Structure 1
Amino acid sequence: MKRHTIEPRPGWQRIVEEQGVVYPLTRYPDDSLRPYWDESAYYSFTLPEVEALEDVVEELHAMCLAAADHIVARDRFADLGITDRALADAVGESWRRRRELPSLYGRFDLRYDGAGGPAKMLEYNADTPTSLVEAASAQWFWMEDRFPGADQWNSLHERLVEAWKRQAPLLPPGPLHFVHSELDELGEDLMTVAYLRETAEQAGLYTEALSVEAIGWDSIAGRFVDDKLRFIRGCFKLYPWEWLTTDEFGPHVLETLDNGGGTGSTCWIEPAWKMLLSNKALLAVLWELYPDHPNLLPAYLDGPRELAAAGPGYVSKPLLGREGDGVLLHGPGGHPAVRDEPCCYQELAALPEFDGNRVVLGAWVVEDKAAGLGIRESSGLITDEYARFLPHVIR
């Protein structure tokens, strides 16, 4: 794994905007605009590196599914902050019937430096992962422009189309609605949903676009409807389950949830069981089930334990959140800092530094297979909303 500087293409901003990355710039606190899509540099990997990372990702995914099964079997929903019994039952039933429910994709965040050590799992976003358009599309076209004939760890588009084809029999009749929130000011959620909708249509599915805010409730029929008053039978939502179930119409979501077996009236994608994987408590359950696994970091729910006394320190992460929100770094020594809110305490694995930039790998999974890579760089130790996306090639 190496970082290389390169001259950006003339008109790069217009190019990537036309390819769906309509958010190529990030506004910083000083009101300056700086590239989010950053092609002033790129990363290269060897094929053996990529093949080894693919094996790691698929093993981690299998371990996460085993951890989800453990959580349901042992009724450990409270460890995930799921204390509502109706919600816990719905998630458990969703897990037990998971083979009857469509489920599409997720993204692992990994610490990896290419220096010979194992990749380490930082977290798994298996419910509402973004940075998909730039990973699947824009960086592929960048490679074709800059390195014709090269290769890339990127089979995302093909795998997504094939996944929709395979899972089409699991979908209810009628249009498959694709929804995102109107509160998305950057357009990232909008374009992620638009891209996924395009892959579904290429798979032969009939789709409709809708905002979450435009979903209606037919109190007479007891069903969700779209802006044309059609029943919403199938819905891909780029909207976290923890919001969906606590919004004003949250009780109706559980009442009408299609969990397979012919029950319920709305099938949501991702399914409710993805709440088990997108929760940071998963990290602690994994360490409990697979202690000392080379691709895991020590993690606990009741406090930092031995992580506070020595070693590199630790990170405290709220169980739910994105873009590094609420993540705190703690150095070794001193009194263990146990936060009031439920958190996961994970050993600090400082992100590797390349030319003064901190890098994290976003490794994509489609269904159960590793499918591609997206790379983000940040100036600090936490990958936050100011991180930049850089393309890659396989040498």
Structure 2
Amino acid sequence: MKKIRIEERANWQQKVESAGFFFHTVEGARYWDERGFYQFTHEQITQDIEGPTQALHEMSMDLVDRVVNSEELLTRLAIPSRFHDLVCDSWKEKHASLYSRFDFIYDANGPAKMIENNADTPTSLLEAASIQLLWLEELIHQGTLPPTATQYNTLAEDLVSAFASFETDTPFYFSAISGSIEDRGTTDFLRKMASLTGIDARHIDIEDIGLTDAGRFVDLDGNWIERLFKLHPWEHMFHERYGTAITGSGTGFVEPAWKAILSNKGMLPLLWEFNKGHPNLLPAFFDAAAEKPVPTGWVRKPFFSREGANIELRTSDGEHIVEEGPYTEGPSILQEFSPLPKFDDSFTLIGSWVIGDVPSGIGIREDDTLITKNTSRFVPHVVLD
């Protein structure tokens, strides 16, 4: 694994925008960054990324099966008791999952270490599935990269295969918070993949979803929303105004309610407890003393933090790093600190995707700090021996 500097394409902004990628710049700074790429060997991908991704996915499914059969574990994960049946039934009735993303620390000098599982509302999908692949194809076409260069990236075709398992006789709604260019880009890409299978894929802003007196979720025309992909986390839905209507609404949700077990960081200590010593896991424990300073060599993470917010770590050398954010209440965990590898002046994180039950590709994020955030840069990759 190495990072290679390269000239960016002329007019790259227009090129990525023509593919629906309008959030390439965040707060005036680059989010998409093609001034370099990461190069992997085929063996590094298959043995160190793809294989561990499959193993971690299977361990995660085993964890869900354990949790849905334990009121005690559901409670430890801070899932409200009134939604226990919803979560458990969605698993036992085999409600389909579409995607998830593991975040890995990896530098090719040892096993990849999973630091979390983004299992409910992962983003960076459009840029991983489409934009970096279009970049690769253009660089091969212009001779900058050899014809033997590939990517670990079957995301788009695997998404189409996943959507093909859904019925096509009812509309499939895709929702995101209005005004979020990134979220809309993600859901528009998913709608495109779904439509390729013949699904009637429709967009609706989350704020525009209505609730009838009979307890049905409906669109602006009063049509029942029978199937809904929601880029909105279950832990929020459990506490929102219409949360209590979910169970009786008859709507099928993607991601399903059982993803609430994997979408909070409380799953990390449970995963370690049930698979202690696994080479792709870091030791993690429920934080019984959140009021005390983070111990040296550990990271404190709130159960429901996202995009690096409210992460606090103390390196093995005692350096103390805190990322502010809104997740100041609720339980937290402690995970053993393992530093992100540094390439040039950037700390690097690998996101490894699972579509359905299939490992499908990676996306790489860089940051100037040890905490990966929503503003961290996305950098393409190449597989080439």
TM-score (norm 2): 0.91
The aligned amino acid for 2:2 is K
The aligned amino acid for 1:314 is W
Aligned match of 2:363: 374
Could you report, residue by residue, the CA deviation over 1:262-284 in whole angstroms, capped at 9, with x for unpaired residues? xxx10011100011111101110
Aligned match of 2:221: 228
CA drift of 1:340 comes to 6.9
Aligned match of 1:137: 130
CA drift of 1:38 comes to 0.1
Aligned match of 1:298: 283
Write out the 4+ residue segments of structure 1 that deviate beyond 6 Å after TM superposition. Answer: none
Aligned match of 1:18: 18
Q: Secondary structure at the match of 1:389?
A: strand
Could you report, residue by residue, the CA deviation over 1:151-193 in whole angstroms, capped at 9, with x for unpaired residues? 1000000000011112x14x7x421111111142xx0100100
CA drift of 1:333 comes to 9.4
Distance 1:80 1:159 in 2: 31
Q: Secondary structure at the match of 1:73?
A: coil
Aligned residue runs from structure 1 range 211-222, under 5 A:
211-219=205-213, 221-222=214-215
Could you report, residue by residue, the CA deviation over 1:256-314 in whole angstroms, capped at 9, with x for unpaired residues? 2xxxxxxxx10011100011111101110011001111000000003489xx998x611
Aligned match of 2:115: 122
Q: Does 1:192 align with 2:186?
A: yes
CA drift of 1:245 comes to 2.4
The aligned amino acid for 1:10 is A
CA drift of 1:370 comes to 0.4
Q: Could you tell me which of 246, 257, 278 is aligned with 1:272?
A: 257
Q: Secondary structure at the match of 2:164?
A: helix
Q: How has the CA–CA distance of structure 1 residues 69 and 355 changed in structure 2, closer, same or farther, with 3 Å as cutoff?
A: same
Aligned match of 1:364: 353
Q: Could you tell me which of 308, 329, 336 is aligned with 1:347?
A: 336
Aligned match of 2:239: 246
Distance 1:177 1:74 in 2: 33
Distance 1:237 1:144 in 2: 31
| Preserved CA contact (<8 Å) 1:133 1:195 | yes
Distance 2:171 2:312 in 1: 43
Q: Secondary structure at the match of 1:255?
A: coil
> How well do the aligned residues superpose, as a CA RMSD in angstroms?
1.9
| Preserved CA contact (<8 Å) 1:3 1:42 | yes
Aligned match of 1:259: none
CA drift of 1:385 comes to 2.2
Q: Secondary structure at the match of 1:107?
A: strand
Distance 1:87 1:4 in 2: 49
Aligned match of 1:62: 58
Q: Does 1:36 align with 2:17?
A: no
Q: How has the CA–CA distance of structure 1 residues 286 and 333 changed in structure 2, closer, same or farther, with 3 Å as cutoff?
A: same
| Preserved CA contact (<8 Å) 1:304 1:345 | no
Distance 1:295 1:77 in 2: 24
Distance 1:314 1:183 in 2: 36
CA drift of 1:68 comes to 1.3
Aligned residues: 365
Q: Does 1:327 align with 2:327?
A: no
Amino-acid identity (%): 40
CA drift of 1:321 comes to 2.0
The aligned amino acid for 1:293 is H
Could you report, residue by residue, the CA deviation over 1:321-361 in whole angstroms, capped at 9, with x for unpaired residues? 21101110124599xxxx97300110011100000110000
Aligned residue runs from structure 1 range 84-233, under 5 A:
84-98=80-94, 101-115=95-109, 117-148=110-141, 149=147, 150-166=149-165, 168-169=166-167, 173-184=169-180, 187-219=181-213, 221-233=214-226
Q: Secondary structure at the match of 1:227?
A: coil
Distance 1:144 1:319 in 2: 40
Aligned match of 1:79: 76
CA drift of 1:374 comes to 0.2
Q: Secondary structure at the match of 1:209?
A: strand
Q: Secondary structure at the match of 1:279?
A: coil
Q: Does 1:46 align with 2:41?
A: yes
Distance 1:86 1:303 in 2: 25
Q: Could you tell me which of 283, 302, 322 is aligned with 1:318?
A: 302
Q: Secondary structure at the match of 2:281?
A: coil
Distance 1:198 1:342 in 2: 38
Q: Secondary structure at the match of 1:364?
A: strand
Q: Does 1:284 align with 2:284?
A: no
Distance 1:340 1:182 in 2: 26
CA drift of 1:381 comes to 0.5
Q: Does 1:237 align with 2:230?
A: yes
| Preserved CA contact (<8 Å) 2:294 2:313 | no
CA drift of 1:229 comes to 0.7
The aligned amino acid for 1:107 is R
| Preserved CA contact (<8 Å) 2:172 2:199 | yes
